[in-house]
Amino acid sequence: MSGRTQRLVGIAAFILFWSAAIDPFLSSVEGGTERIPRPSTGTAFSDSVKTDPDTGLAIDDQLMLVKGQCTACHSSKLILQSHFSRDKWIERIRWMQRTQKLWDLGESEPAILAYLTKHYGPADGAFDGRREPLKKVKWHKPGN
């Protein structure tokens, strides 16, 4: 063997040896990441209240009523972006009736108001948008 061939064989052996030595380590690393359970993002971040694909309004027994009475003149976005107490909702409806030709809601008014206050009621001031604050937490006392 010439010196050049010997050197090439040496390099090839070196590469073969190390790739074989490293291989179990590499595959255990790969296998390791696969075994980490991934959260299913589909359910983890979805809201518990389903919304109507047309309007974005919360799906509820009163949805069709509210959709019929409240999206005839303007987009549902005006409702979606609002957080009013029941009194404020009454005030807004009276204002629309006084100045925007909104009709008398008659017997459906209480149901509409209940829907609006339930889904578009006052926003909790302390809520920063990341998650609901913990309520009635039972803290574990160290030593018990």
Q: Would you tell me which residues interact with ligand HEC (CB under 6 A)?
A: 69-70, 72-74, 78-79, 82, 92-93, 96, 100-102, 112, 116
Using the minimum distance from each CB to ligand HEC, give the nearer residue, 98 or 141. 98
Question: Can you give the C-alpha Rg of the chain in angstroms?
Answer: 32
Neighbours of 102 (CB within 10 A): 17
CB of 122 to ligand HEC, least distance (A): 13
Q: Residue 51 to residues 32, 58, 60: CA-CA distances in angstroms?
A: 39, 4, 9
Using the minimum distance from each CB to ligand HEC, give the nearer residue, 58 or 69. 69
CB of 84 to ligand HEC, least distance (A): 7
Using the minimum distance from each CB to ligand HEC, give the nearer residue, 98 or 131. 98
Using the minimum distance from each CB to ligand HEC, give the nearer residue, 7 or 77. 77
CB of 54 to ligand HEC, least distance (A): 15
* Spatial distance between the Cα atoms of 134 and 120, rounded to a whole number of angstroms: 21
Ordered DSSP codes for 75-100: -THHHHT----HHHHHHHHHHHHHHS
